[in-house]
Amino acid sequence: QVQLVESGGGVVQPGRSLRLSCTASGFTSSSSVMHWVRQAPGKGLEWVACMWSDGRNTYYTDSVKGRFTISRDSSKNTLYLQMNSLRPEDTAVYYCVKDDGTFGGSWGRGTLVTVSS
Protein backbone atom coordinates (compact mmCIF):
# COMPACT_ATOMS: atom_id res chain seq x y z
CA GLN A 1 0.00 0.00 0.00
CA VAL A 2 0.99 3.62 -0.36
CA GLN A 3 3.35 4.87 2.32
CA LEU A 4 5.01 8.26 2.69
CA VAL A 5 7.74 8.82 5.27
CA GLU A 6 9.08 12.30 5.91
CA SER A 7 12.43 13.02 7.52
CA GLY A 8 14.93 15.82 7.95
CA GLY A 9 13.11 18.05 10.40
CA GLY A 10 14.77 19.59 13.41
CA VAL A 11 15.68 22.80 15.18
CA VAL A 12 17.42 25.42 13.05
CA GLN A 13 18.35 29.05 13.55
CA PRO A 14 16.68 31.79 11.54
CA GLY A 15 18.39 32.35 8.21
CA ARG A 16 19.74 28.81 8.02
CA SER A 17 18.75 25.97 5.70
CA LEU A 18 17.19 22.53 6.01
CA ARG A 19 16.28 19.82 3.53
CA LEU A 20 13.25 17.63 4.08
CA SER A 21 12.85 14.23 2.44
CA CYS A 22 9.78 12.17 1.68
CA THR A 23 10.44 8.54 0.82
CA ALA A 24 7.58 6.85 -0.99
CA SER A 25 6.70 3.20 -1.22
CA GLY A 26 3.87 1.28 -2.79
CA PHE A 27 3.85 3.51 -5.84
CA THR A 28 6.19 5.50 -8.10
CA SER A 29 6.26 9.05 -6.81
CA SER A 30 7.65 10.39 -10.09
CA SER A 31 4.43 9.39 -11.83
CA SER A 32 2.29 11.32 -9.37
CA VAL A 33 1.72 14.94 -8.48
CA MET A 34 3.29 15.40 -5.05
CA HIS A 35 2.77 18.18 -2.52
CA TRP A 36 4.18 19.56 0.70
CA VAL A 37 1.67 20.90 3.23
CA ARG A 38 2.53 22.42 6.60
CA GLN A 39 0.79 22.99 9.89
CA ALA A 40 2.10 25.50 12.42
CA PRO A 41 1.66 24.46 16.07
CA GLY A 42 -2.00 24.63 17.00
CA LYS A 43 -2.94 26.06 13.60
CA GLY A 44 -4.60 24.91 10.40
CA LEU A 45 -3.28 23.39 7.20
CA GLU A 46 -1.34 25.39 4.62
CA TRP A 47 -0.33 24.15 1.19
CA VAL A 48 3.33 24.92 0.54
CA ALA A 49 4.53 23.48 -2.78
CA CYS A 50 3.93 20.85 -5.41
CA MET A 51 5.73 19.12 -8.23
CA TRP A 52 3.94 17.84 -11.29
CA SER A 53 4.53 14.30 -12.52
CA ASP A 54 6.57 15.61 -15.47
CA GLY A 55 9.10 16.91 -12.95
CA ARG A 56 9.26 20.26 -14.71
CA ASN A 57 6.26 22.11 -13.35
CA THR A 58 6.52 23.28 -9.77
CA TYR A 59 4.36 25.66 -7.76
CA TYR A 60 4.82 27.45 -4.45
CA THR A 61 2.80 29.45 -2.01
CA ASP A 62 3.80 33.11 -2.11
CA SER A 63 5.43 33.15 1.33
CA VAL A 64 8.07 30.58 0.35
CA LYS A 65 8.77 31.58 -3.25
CA GLY A 66 12.47 32.17 -3.78
CA ARG A 67 13.34 30.43 -0.51
CA PHE A 68 12.01 26.86 -0.88
CA THR A 69 12.65 24.43 -3.72
CA ILE A 70 10.78 21.19 -4.35
CA SER A 71 12.60 18.44 -6.20
CA ARG A 72 12.78 14.69 -6.51
CA ASP A 73 15.15 11.79 -7.08
CA SER A 74 13.27 9.19 -9.11
CA SER A 75 15.96 6.56 -8.52
CA LYS A 76 15.29 6.83 -4.78
CA ASN A 77 11.53 7.37 -5.09
CA THR A 78 12.05 10.40 -2.88
CA LEU A 79 10.65 13.92 -2.86
CA TYR A 80 12.58 16.80 -1.31
CA LEU A 81 11.91 20.26 0.04
CA GLN A 82 15.00 22.45 0.25
CA MET A 83 14.26 25.27 2.66
CA ASN A 84 16.61 28.26 2.70
CA SER A 85 16.55 31.53 4.62
CA LEU A 86 14.26 30.00 7.22
CA ARG A 87 12.09 32.25 9.35
CA PRO A 88 10.39 31.66 12.69
CA GLU A 89 7.04 31.65 10.87
CA ASP A 90 8.19 28.57 8.93
CA THR A 91 7.97 26.58 12.17
CA ALA A 92 5.51 23.76 11.47
CA VAL A 93 4.96 20.09 10.89
CA TYR A 94 5.62 19.46 7.20
CA TYR A 95 3.56 16.75 5.51
CA CYS A 96 4.26 15.02 2.22
CA VAL A 97 1.01 14.45 0.31
CA LYS A 98 0.17 12.38 -2.74
CA ASP A 99 -2.28 13.57 -5.36
CA ASP A 100 -4.26 10.67 -6.83
CA GLY A 101 -6.05 12.74 -9.43
CA THR A 102 -7.47 14.75 -6.58
CA PHE A 103 -5.39 16.35 -3.85
CA GLY A 104 -4.69 14.51 -0.68
CA GLY A 105 -5.25 10.80 -1.20
CA SER A 106 -2.31 9.88 1.01
CA TRP A 107 -0.40 11.75 3.71
CA GLY A 108 2.78 11.03 5.59
CA ARG A 109 3.10 11.40 9.37
CA GLY A 110 4.99 14.66 9.02
CA THR A 111 8.29 16.04 10.25
CA LEU A 112 8.60 18.96 12.65
CA VAL A 113 10.69 21.97 11.71
CA THR A 114 11.42 24.51 14.43
CA VAL A 115 13.07 27.79 13.49
CA SER A 116 14.40 29.46 16.60
CA SER A 117 17.50 31.13 17.89
Residue numbers at the binding site for other proteins (CB under 8 A): 35, 37, 44-47, 50, 59-62, 95, 102-105, 107-110
Cα–Cα distance, 38 to 110 (Å, whole number):
8
Q: What is the DSSP letter of 85?
A: S
Minimum Å gap between C-beta 52 and other proteins is 11
* Spatial contact of 18 and 12, defined as CB atoms under 8 Å apart: yes
Using CA atoms, how far residue 23 sits from 27, 42, 113, in Å, is: 11, 26, 17
Minimum Å gap between C-beta 103 and other proteins is 4
What per-residue string of b and e applies to 27-44 under the rule 16 or more CB within 10 Å gives b? bebbebbbbbbbeeeeee
Minimum Å gap between C-beta 109 and other proteins is 5
Minimum Å gap between C-beta 76 and other proteins is 22
